[in-house]
Amino acid sequence: MEAHGVHYAIEVIHWVALGVMALVYVLRLLWLFKFKNFRDRQAPGENGDTTNWPALYSLGNVVMPWAMESTRKRPFFYVTFVIFHLGVVAGIFLAFISSLNRPFLEEPVVASIFMIILAAAFLVSVGRILRRLLRPVMRLISTPDDYFCLSLLTVWFGSGVLAEAHISGHLHSEWYLTIYLALTSFFLLYVPFSKISHYLYYPFTRFWIGQTLGHRGSMPASRG
Amino acid sequence: MSTEVESYKIQKMVELLAPKLTRQVVGSLVGCVHCGMCHETCHYVMTHPDDPKMTPSYKADQLRKLFKRHYDWTGRVFPGWVGAKPPTRDVDLDELKDIAFGTCTNCRRCTFNCPMGVDTATLNRIMRGLLTQVGVMPEGVRVVSKDTWELGNQMGVLKEDYVETLEWLSEELVMELDDERATIPIDKVGANIVYTINPREVKYDPRTISEAALIFYAAAEDWTMPSWGWDQTNFGLFSGDDAMGAASYRHLQEKNAELGSQRLVISECGHGYRSTRCEGPNWSKTDQDFVMESSVMTMLRYIKEGRIVVDKTKNSDPVTFHDSCNNARSCGFYEEPRELLKLVCTDFQEMYPNRTENYCCTGGGGAMSMSEYTPRRLVSAKVKADQIAETGAKVVVTSCHNCVDGLGDLIRHYKLDCQVKQLVHLVANALVLEECAISKIPKEKPVPEPVPEPVQEPVVIPVEIPADRVKIADALSGRRILIVEDEEDTRIFLATLLQDAGAVTLEAVDGDEAIATARAEKPDLITLDLSMPGKDGVEAFIEIRNDPDIRDIPVCIVTGHPEFRKVIYDRPVRPPEGYMDKPVIEEDLVANLRRILETSRAEGS
């Protein structure tokens, strides 16, 4: 089959995969919300805040590395976290924009930005695999799903660099993009069943912990 | 699909997990990405760098596996792939016990450092609760839980001892101040404040009660201490047993309502404050309907209102402050003690890190009652010891009795040149009594001592034995009853009671001895305690029921663990013929045993 034909089929599949992912996400959220809600029955703490501010603060801690000791004391780890997640965002954009507005990705500046981010994310991802393999504590807590997700993302980032290189005219074979879209489709289908779906839960877990501890007065966290 | 569960206890744990699964708990169970960010925030990890099992996410994964395997469909379908392989055998529960109770003080430091907002400490507490509910717990936890259920306080203080101690302290204070107003009122209805304490204060540190009484006196406060429902600590927080947490909280709630007080004051205790002020209403599923505050807030208010006057130069040693994890991280209570401290001492040195980032004293989470983990605990205490040493303080102040013990232990172990005090000591020491509110209220004229009446010879009044007691006297005549009970006092009490009722008693102190005695002596009935060292009552009961020689002997469970009722009755064997909660009422026990014996005889014939 011609690469163009396969490419077209994959494009269709990856939109279908997106739909499946959305559906499973909805089911996951319905599942989560079928559990009863916890309500802190105590009167607010002396320093408690009953508004949504502590919950929103908690939610925003992803962009506040100073808010937690674990990120404050490990700035390099935090930077790699940011690069890794920017890579994910860039990768998803690349996949969909390549179908919707390919000329945008052909712009040299845009292409360079995408390639740099994806290449950096690829390197971080390789580092994360090594960390998970080499540190006893990481080996102990890792599941096959953890390794597989990380490996999948690493390959996906690498393939994204090549796909963008193709789009921007540095590589000629259409297969680079086709393989990338195929990987994206698999990624979209696998994500809701894997630990990568953590970002679906993130807003809720952070909001709830902020709400509970804020009501009691210990969120935002304080240090002297 | 088969869940491959072999152990009955694990099946029960799976069932018991269901009601604990709130949206927030499930979020913490599914939200962990195993990033390892919590790793270096835990004092156990920091002091056991070669043991990866100390990492918080590994500890939480123990519950996560159970949850995923039975409640999350990805774990049901692909258990190996997503790490959903929980233990399946009873022997594995010992390891779970060791992890949940022996490698975590539930200090919640990891929770505050998780980028995902996973509440690992809460997950560990849930695991503790599940283990406790199926009878797997450290012996110390078992004993304390037993005392809490049976006597209403976690140190087994008898009501008489408690009241006598208060009366003695009261007399001493009155004598010392030469003022009748310095009395410690007990069960005074309508007082502004009901003051609740940690049983440790009655048992080991009554000075803190005197000092609190002195401060209330100085502030001319209308206060009282309850004769029941006075233990503000709540072992349910540590054992994970929400039912116990609710029961202990209700004791306070009900007594406070009975006394008609406006405010319940909690003496300086981190877990007491958290479990009473914060968790009690949740466990008991009642909204908080009265004011509760820490005595730190009360003392601070007195100073601000001018009801007590203090001279900070009386406390001139350099002091530092240790934040109790429960106060700081779980209740947002960390500025008030500092504010108070700065008012009552001259040289305050901050400890780093502090407030919500402080390290645990290592005595939290019930660790002080689990002696089997003491060596590990003291190793983990190195972090705290270094923190204290760095301040150069001679006094470590804390608002928590547990921390007093934990810090005291590590100060001795690491030979630090300092001592532990609570704010109540410093405030009491700094009081300027002649300027306090009490000095502005004139003493009432002393009431003349009543003239003692002449001593008369005691009159002996014949005691009439009630008819039902006469009936009880020979209710068990000639019956041979095996009493299985590990606590000597209780065993003697039961033996005496049953002998008085005409029974011939045999005794056993644990499950193995019970089975051996039952096989050798074939008693008419067995009274069986459940929580005993060695083979416990639950295991012994199953073995008795499965032994064709003794399976027909009727068994009456006599236990301080009402929560085990379901465990016993759900066993795949014939249920016990009777089940009685401790403390037993004499007449009820005899009547119940008589009923069991008569019913069994009728069935046998």
Residue of B nearest to A49 (CA): B332
Give the confidence band of B460 by pLDDT, cuts at 50, 70, 90: very low
Contact A39, B24 (CB under 8 A): no
pLDDT of residue B563: 60
> Do residues B127 and B158 both lie within one domain?
no
Closest CB to B354 among A36, A70, A223: A223
> Do residues B333 and B426 both lie within one domain?
yes
Dist. CA A69–CA B38, nearest whole Å: 10
Would the pLDDT of B300 be above 90? yes
Looking at the domain assignment, is residue B457 inside a domain? no
Chain-centroid distance of CA B494 in Å reads: 26
pLDDT digit string, tens, across residues B108-134: 999 999 999 999 999 999 999 999 999
Q: What letter does residue B208 receive in the DSSP assignment? A: H
Q: Does A2 touch chain B (CB under 8 A)?
A: no
Dist. CA B169–CA B206, nearest whole Å: 8
> Do residues B155 and B287 both lie within one domain?
yes
pLDDT of residue B461: 44
pLDDT digit string, tens, across residues B418-427: 999 999 999 9
Would the pLDDT of B605 be above 90? no
- Residue closest to B527 by CA, chosen among B546, B514, B542: B514
Q: A169: helix, coil or strand?
A: coil
Closest CB to A224 among B38, B58, B354: B354
Q: Does A139 touch chain B (CB under 8 A)?
A: yes
Angle ∠(A199,A56,A90) on CA atoms, nearest 5 = 35
Signed CA dihedral, B385, B387, B388, B391: sign only: positive
- Residue closest to B348 by CA, chosen among B408, B397, B405: B397
pLDDT of residue B262: 85
Closest CB to A146 among B34, B118, B355: B34
pLDDT digit string, tens, across residues B494-512: 998 899 899 999 999 989 9
Secondary element (H or E) of residue B559: strand B555-559
**Which long-range contacts does B442-451 make (Cβ < 8 Å, 24+ apart)?**
B443/B179, B443/B180, B443/B181, B444/B180, B446/B180
Give the confidence band of B449 by pLDDT, cuts at 50, 70, 90: low
Among residues 324-383 of chain B, which lie with CB inside 8 Å of chain A?
328-336, 350, 352-357
Closest CB to A38 among B23, B57, B116: B23
Between A219-223, B293-297, B506-510, the lowest mean confidence (pLDDT) is in A219-223
Would the pLDDT of B571 be above 80? no
- Cβ of A46 and B38 within 8 Å? no
DSSP string computed for B490-519: HHHHHHHHHHHTT-EEEEESSHHHHHHHHH
- Cβ of B117 and A139 within 8 Å? no
Q: B262: helix, coil or strand?
A: coil
Answer with the residue of higher pLDDT: B142 or B603: B142
Closest CB to A40 among B21, B36, B282: B282
Give the confidence band of B138 by pLDDT, cuts at 50, 70, 90: very high
All structural domains of chain A with their residue ranges: 3-35+46-216
Mean pLDDT, residues A42-71:
94
Residue type, B454: P
Between A143-147, B18-22, B453-457, the lowest mean confidence (pLDDT) is in B453-457
Give the CA dihedral B516, B520, B523, B529, nearest 10 degrees.
Answer: -10
> Do residues B64 and B148 both lie within one domain?
no
pLDDT digit string, tens, across residues B42-92: 999 999 999 999 999 999 999 999 999 999 989 999 999 999 999 999 999
Strand partners, B508: B484
Q: Does B433 touch chain A (CB under 8 A)?
A: no
> Do residues B126 and B221 both lie within one domain?
no
pLDDT of residue B462: 44
pLDDT of residue B241: 95
> Do residues B131 and B57 both lie within one domain?
yes
- Cβ of B116 and A135 within 8 Å? no
> Do residues B35 and B133 both lie within one domain?
yes
Give the confidence band of B172 by pLDDT, cuts at 50, 70, 90: very high
pLDDT of residue A7: 79
> Do residues B150 and B117 both lie within one domain?
no
Q: Does B68 touch chain A (CB under 8 A)?
A: no
Between B155-159, B183-187, B389-393, B523-527, the lowest mean confidence (pLDDT) is in B155-159
SS3 per-residue string spanning B438-459? HHHCCCCCCCCCCCCCCCCCCC
Give the confidence band of B600 by pLDDT, cuts at 50, 70, 90: confident
Mean pLDDT, residues B371-387:
96
> Do residues B147 and B132 both lie within one domain?
no
pLDDT of residue B574: 82
C-alpha separations of B597 from A21, A110, A136, A211, B524 in Å: 65, 89, 61, 57, 8
Contact B194, B265 (CB under 8 A): yes
Boundary of a domain, candidates B381, B415, B435? B435
Contact B245, B280 (CB under 8 A): yes
Mean pLDDT, residues B187-199:
97
Please list every residue in chain A whose beta carbon sits closer than 8 Å to the beta carbon of residue B41. 69-70
Residue of B nearest to A194 (CA): B82
Q: What letter does residue B276 receive in the DSSP assignment? A: I
Closest CB to B31 among A69, A137, A198: A198
Mean pLDDT, residues B7-28:
96
Chain B nearest-CA distance from A42, in A, is 5
Signed CA dihedral, B230, B231, B233, B235: sign only: negative
Chain B nearest-CA distance from A74, in A, is 9
Residue of B nearest to A217 (CA): B332
Mean pLDDT, residues B359-386:
96
pLDDT of residue B570: 67
Written as six digits, the tokens of A50 are: 């009953």
pLDDT of residue B340: 98
Please list every residue in chain B whose beta carbon sits closer than 8 Å to the beta carbon of residue A212. 24
Closest CB to B27 among A32, A73, A139: A32
> Do residues B386 and B505 both lie within one domain?
no
Residue of B23, B81, B293 to mutate, testing the A interface (most A Cβ within 10 Å of its Cβ): B23
B194-229 per-residue burial string, b: 16 or more CB within 10 A, e: under 16: bbbbbbbbbeebbebbbbbbbbbbbbbbebbbbebb
DSSP string computed for A149-160: HHHHHHHHHHHH
pLDDT digit string, tens, across residues B237-257: 999 999 999 999 999 999 999
pLDDT of residue A10: 85
Strand partners, B507: B483
Q: How many domains does chain B contain in total?
A: 3
Residue of B nearest to A63 (CA): B115
> Do residues B197 and B62 both lie within one domain?
no
How crowded is the C-beta side of A118, counted as CA atoms within 13 Å? Answer: 25
Chain B nearest-CA distance from A57, in A, is 12
Please give the CATH number for the structural domain made up of A3-35+46-216.
1.20.950.20
- Residue closest to A145 by CA, chosen among B457, B485, B74: B74
- Strand pairing of B193-196 and B555-559? unpaired
Q: What letter does residue A191 receive in the DSSP assignment? A: G
Between B124-133, B526-535, B545-554, the lowest mean confidence (pLDDT) is in B526-535
Q: Is B40 exposed, middle or buried (0-12, 13-18, 19+ CB in 10 A)?
A: middle
Would the pLDDT of A4 be above 60? yes
> Do residues B112 and B161 both lie within one domain?
no
Closest CB to A141 among B22, B58, B279: B58
ipTM of this predicted complex?
0.95
Looking at the domain assignment, is residue B351 inside a domain? yes
Contact B373, B298 (CB under 8 A): no
Looking at the domain assignment, is residue B595 inside a domain? yes
Please list every residue in chain B whose beta carbon sits closer than 8 Å to the beta carbon of residue A213. 329-330, 332
- Cβ of B357 and A221 within 8 Å? yes
Rg of chain B (C-alpha set):
27
Share of chain B above pLDDT 70, in %: 92
pLDDT of residue B136: 96
Written as six digits, the tokens of B556 are: 């009456």
Mean pLDDT, residues B129-148:
94
Looking at the domain assignment, is residue B202 inside a domain? yes
pLDDT of residue B586: 80
Share of chain B above pLDDT 90, in %: 77
Mean pLDDT, residues B160-180:
94
The owner of tokens 């270096």 is: B40
Give the CA dihedral B534, B539, B544, B547, nearest 10 degrees.
Answer: -100
Chain B nearest-CA distance from A14, in A, is 23
Dist. CA A181–CA A190, nearest whole Å: 14
Domain that holds residue B183: 143-435
Contact B558, B552 (CB under 8 A): no
Q: Is B414 exposed, middle or buried (0-12, 13-18, 19+ CB in 10 A)?
A: middle
Q: Does A221 touch chain B (CB under 8 A)?
A: yes
Residue of A39, A42, A53, A79 to mutate, testing the B interface (most B Cβ within 10 Å of its Cβ): A42
Written as six digits, the tokens of B430 are: 């700094």
Among residues 17-36 of chain B, which lie with CB inside 8 Å of chain A?
21-28, 30-34, 36
Q: Does B323 touch chain A (CB under 8 A)?
A: no
Please list every residue in chain B whose beta carbon sits closer than 8 Å to the beta carbon of residue A78. none
| Helical ranges in B187-241 per DSSP H | 199-203, 207-218, 236-239
Mean pLDDT, residues B535-555:
90
Looking at the domain assignment, is residue B461 inside a domain? no
Residue of B109, B114, B120, B331 to mutate, testing the A interface (most A Cβ within 10 Å of its Cβ): B331
Average pLDDT over chain B, rounded to whole?
91
Q: Does B242 touch chain A (CB under 8 A)?
A: no
Would the pLDDT of B470 be above 90? no
Boundary of a domain, candidates B77, B105, B137? B137
- Cβ of B81 and A144 within 8 Å? yes
Give the CATH number, domain containing residue B552.
3.40.50.2300
Looking at the domain assignment, is residue B78 inside a domain? yes
Residue of A nearest to B327 (CA): A218
Closest CB to A46 among B58, B288, B333: B333
Boundary of a domain, candidates B79, B110, B137? B137
Dist. CA B245–CA B278, nearest whole Å: 11
Q: Does A172 touch chain B (CB under 8 A)?
A: no
Give the CATH number, domain containing residue B75.
1.10.1060
Among residues 6-35 of chain A, which lie with CB inside 8 Å of chain B?
32-33, 35
